[in-house]
Structure 1
Amino acid sequence: MFSKYLKTLSILKKFLFINFIIFTIIGLFTFTYLNNIHPSLIKKKSQNHTNIINNTVDNILRLDVKFQSDDIRKFLFSTRFIFQNLDRVIFFDDQLNLIGDTDTLDLDPRSFSTRLDKIEFESLDNEEIEKAIEEKNIKIDKKKPVSFKDILKNYSSSEYLGAPYTFTQEDFNQFNVTTIKNVTKNEINLGYVAITENANEIKTAIDERKAFVIRTAISVGFVILIFSFVLSRYFIKPIQNLVGYTIRIKEKSQAKPGIENLKKRNDELGLLSNSLEDMTNELQNRVTHAENFSTDLVHEIRNPLASLKSASEILQDTNDNEQRNKLLNILSHDVQRIERLITDYSQMLKDEVALSKEKMKKINVEPIIQSVVDDYNNIHQVKKGIKIEYKNDGKEEYYINGIENRIEQIIANLLDNSISFSKDGANVFVDVSVNKKNQISIKIIDEGQGFKEKDTSRIFKRFYSNRPEKFGEHSGLGLNIVKNLVELHDGEIVASNRIDKAGAMIEIRLPNV
């Protein structure tokens, strides 16, 4: 249930919710710690008091000191160095009468007797009395003011008589810890000893811890608030813009993309925005390319289909054998033309799929071109007497980022095209060099009739063919495939007629790496 709820939240809400849970858990542990540190510190005081009381009782019993004012006074004067680190040590007899108090000790022994009778028990507010570290079931009437004597009475009548009992008193300026324990001899209760010590360091330590926790909580909360703002401003909002961008693309909305600012960022989100836009543009180009190609293919197929339909209709009505043979030749020619268009189109689609899977790498095109030229001279020569000559500007390495078999395909297609326009015994030249723009220039030069088109860029369009004497024998996709492969390698291809003599030249320019 919790995980399902968490999945429905946004990233910012998840971040705040998780921080709230962690903050709450830490707060509970801190609260428990602060509640435990208070009795823990008091317990240390109580143990120290208990040790002093036990040592004092041992001395009293060993010296056989009577629980009377005179004896206790003499004992206090003789052993007052034992209590010099304590604020106050008080003695009571078994009737709860005050018989000794270190607060009455000074340099004049007579002051002890004169001041002892004037000491009164302080009245304590009920709110100032806390339970001992060791749980003591000492009953106190909370409706009445509580005095030290009341506590002694309840302690003397409780079942915990004989064990030390500690309680605390707190006012505006002081935090006192008091421990009481009765003194027994031969199982007879002689009286009580109480030690009261100022323990402001406990209160200070607890207050410091509380202040530290509060400051830490405020600081952490402030940091979380700042981080939440940064997360929302610089991460969540840009991601939402990217989501909106993909939705607009999906819905084919005409609204502006809204990621121009993201593209200017130099971090991962900027890279993601640029990559996403490039991928979207590439997909849109592919879709447009496929739509245009399909439209062109349908248009190209429509002509031979119309010719097939007309020829088949005439064929049914003619009895002239010569005319029938001509019509049958037309039918066969149109069928071959349709088959060639579909075959070339199918091959082009396969090539595009293969291209999407192939990886670019740094390659040297010089041995690749040399290998294709040698193959055509030795194996693939289609016209007798045609020789392909290869030359370069003296270098042996021309590196590009590309796909080796696609470079072979480019050169082979261009050589096929040049050979088809060349006469028997002509030459075809392949020239490789580095131009002034530091581009690798590959020129295919023939001695054919040259281009008749004023705009030579038309020859790279799909299904374009200027071969009236061989109409239907070519699909017009060869040079278009070459152009697409060159652009895949971030290059450019241009066609022109030779200046020095008849013939055509096609130049490919690829980035030099």
Structure 2
Amino acid sequence: MAPVIDSQRTDGPDLALRWSGQISLTRRILAVNIIALLMLAGGFFYLDSYRSRIVDSRVAQAGREARLIGEAIATVEGERRTALALRLAADTGARLRLFDAAGRTMLDSRALGLRNVVLSDPDKQAWDQSSARFLDAVIDTVVGAPRPPLYRERTDGRRWPDVAAVQSGQPIAATVWRAPDRTPVITAAASLADGGVVMTTINARDITQTVRIERFRLSLVLLLVTIVSVLLSLFLARTIVRPLRRLARAAIRVRLGRAREVVVPRLPSRRDEIGSLARALSDMSLALRARIDATEAFAADITHEMKNPLASLRSAVDGLETVKDEELRARLLAIVRDDVHRMDRLITDISEASRLDAQLSRAKFEPVDMARMIIGLLDQRRARGIERGIRLHFDSTAAEAPIVLGEGARLERVFENLIDNALSFSPDRGLIAIAAFVEQDELVIRVDDEGPGVPEESRESIFRRFQSVRPEAEAFGQHSGLGLAIARTIVEGHQGSIVVESREDRLSGARFVVRLPLADRR
């Protein structure tokens, strides 16, 4: 099992989550939708304020009606007063009572046979009304609605707060009561000219019915929205959470070292961010698998390349113990020295090749004048002396200094390797021509030699590690086979490309073409 890696936090403040990061994505989706539902459920608070406004309006209306009834009754006497009171009670739907100054009942519309205000007995109502009352009590408790006092009959008029308020000098008074079935009862009183008081009583059952109807409609809407919200939450959880879990499981298997066995789902039918994430993870796993394969192949190639000089070195060392001939011993020592130099060169190139990708990923690119760099390389070569009379020539047709962004030392290594390769294949007194020119937004640098050229079937393989096509006259082991591979890695790390072509002038030789993006001059 692969070890657990304690990686540094890379999520910035815009990605960091505090307490919500500990909750699964499915629950967070449900929670967000439930919060929206709770906001919709706030409509019940609105219904309470709606009921309060209706009750206040009916209280004001009851006060006005009591005043008008009192003024109308004060204009008549005797039987005409009784008839007028009954007609007004029937028209307004209220119970009408007249009290004298001592609080005694002078007239009661119910006693006269008009029973238009009858309070319902909750014990005799159906189950649906009981459920409605229970729901009323629950909602009133939740919203904190004020609870009116329970309505009870009184024989002494002065025990009614409305009558007492009018007798104390207030022109109109009204009170809201609660019937046994939780419907509002509104009483209102007004003074008469003879010192008496008229009081009206009405059971505003229609207010409760209106509020219950609106609450029922809101409940239906809330229920429907809840069902839709839950279904949408489950749909989002299915379309978001499930593929993320599959990707997470695949990533864990890759981390545990089973990359070759893992097939990361690419989700080709999805064109959203999750589909992009799936394809990015799949490409990443493929790249990781390719990197692992390349590392394994590189290790195998290193083993193979190291065994040859080691075998030769072992044979030479073993021979030194038994050979007495000085000339033969000198030849064996020369072989030992060559093998040691070969291994030293091979280890140096292997070390550079193995670290090159990581170093390039951390390198800080700076502007590099490629023409000046190549001229400096050629001057150094000429100063050290060039064997076999080979000539070096550089030609730049760029109107301005060809500047690229890169690491100068690495780019120098590219052209050192290309010049070394050209020197190896060039004939005596041959010409190596280097040309630089700008093509669109790229700097193109060509290195031409007059050697035998590269066979077409080998033009890609020569850039692989430990793959090379060497001149027949060259002594074995003079090159590690990593020079062109290192050159390609460096060029591609600078977002460029390197290929080998035939010379367009149809002369013998190879042409290596390097393309690098030019630096933005703005």
Same fold per superposition (TM over 0.5): yes
Structure 1 residues 154 and 233 mapped into 2: Cα distance closer, same or farther (>3 Å)? farther
Identify the residue that residue 152 of structure 1 maps to in structure 2.
154
Tell me: higher relative CO, structure 1 or 2? Use CA pairs within 8 A at least 6 residues apart: 2
Identify the residue that residue 343 of structure 2 maps to in structure 1.
338
Matched-pair contact (CA < 8 Å) for 2:163–2:197:
no
Counterparts of 1:91-130 in structure 2 under 5 Å? Answer: 91-93=97-99, 94-96=103-105, 98=107, 117-119=112-114, 123-127=118-122
User: Structure 1 counterpart of 2:422, which letter?
Assistant: S
Matched-pair contact (CA < 8 Å) for 1:398–1:512:
no
User: Structure 2 counterpart of 1:153, which letter?
Assistant: T
User: Structure 1 counterpart of 2:176, which letter?
Assistant: T
Identify the residue that residue 295 of structure 2 maps to in structure 1.
290
Matched-pair contact (CA < 8 Å) for 1:457–1:495:
no
Matched-pair contact (CA < 8 Å) for 1:462–1:477:
yes
Counterparts of 1:406-485 in structure 2 under 5 Å? Answer: 406-423=410-427, 425-432=429-436, 442-448=445-451, 450=453, 455-465=458-468, 466=470, 469-485=474-490
Sequence identity (%): 25
Compute the displacement of 1:454 (Å): 7.3
Whether 1:178 aligns to 2:178 is no
Give deviations 1:396-447, integer Å, cap 9, x for gaps: 5899997464554433321222124335643211245689x99976432112
User: Structure 1 counterpart of 2:187, which letter?
Assistant: T
Identify the residue that residue 46 of structure 1 maps to in structure 2.
59
Distance 2:404 2:212 in 1: 70
Compute the displacement of 1:41 (Å): 3.4
Whether 1:491 aligns to 2:497 is yes
Structure 1, unaligned stretches of length 5 or more?
A: 102-115, 140-150
Structure 1 residues 85 and 470 mapped into 2: Cα distance closer, same or farther (>3 Å)? farther
Distance 2:91 2:146 in 1: 22
Structure 2, unaligned stretches of length 5 or more?
A: 1-16, 138-144, 166-173
User: Structure 1 counterpart of 2:421, which letter?
Assistant: N
Identify the residue that residue 164 of structure 2 maps to in structure 1.
162
Matched-pair contact (CA < 8 Å) for 1:178–1:196:
yes
* Count, aligned residues: 465
Distance 1:487 1:45 in 2: 85
Whether 1:266 aligns to 2:274 is no
Compute the displacement of 1:389 (Å): 2.8
Counterparts of 1:21-420 in structure 2 under 5 Å? Answer: 23-24=37-38, 27=41, 29-31=42-44, 34-35=47-48, 37-39=50-52, 41-50=54-63, 53=66, 69=78, 72=81, 87-88=93-94, 90-93=96-99, 94-96=103-105, 98=107, 117-119=112-114, 123-127=118-122, 135-136=148-149, 151-153=153-155, 162=164, 164-167=174-177, 177-181=185-189, 193-196=199-202, 200=206, 202-203=207-208, 206-207=211-212, 209-211=214-216, 213-225=218-230, 227-250=232-255, 252=258, 257=263, 259-260=265-266, 262-263=267-268, 265-358=270-363, 368=370, 370-381=371-382, 382-383=385-386, 386-391=390-395, 396=399, 403=406, 405=408, 406-420=410-424
SS in 1 for 2:186: strand
Give deviations 1:220-267, integer Å, cap 9, x for gaps: 32542453254134322332332243245445376673624x245433
User: Structure 2 counterpart of 1:220, which letter?
Assistant: V
Matched-pair contact (CA < 8 Å) for 2:184–2:208:
no
SS in 2 for 1:444: strand
Compute the displacement of 1:353 (Å): 1.0
SS in 2 for 1:429: strand
Matched-pair contact (CA < 8 Å) for 2:162–2:189:
no
Distance 1:326 1:414 in 2: 33
Structure 1 residues 153 and 183 mapped into 2: Cα distance closer, same or farther (>3 Å)? farther
SS in 2 for 1:91: strand
Matched-pair contact (CA < 8 Å) for 2:104–2:157:
no
Give deviations 1:57-77, integer Å, cap 9, x for gaps: 7x79xx9x6998559559979
Identify the residue that residue 147 of structure 1 maps to in structure 2.
none
Distance 2:44 2:373 in 1: 82
Distance 2:43 2:504 in 1: 89
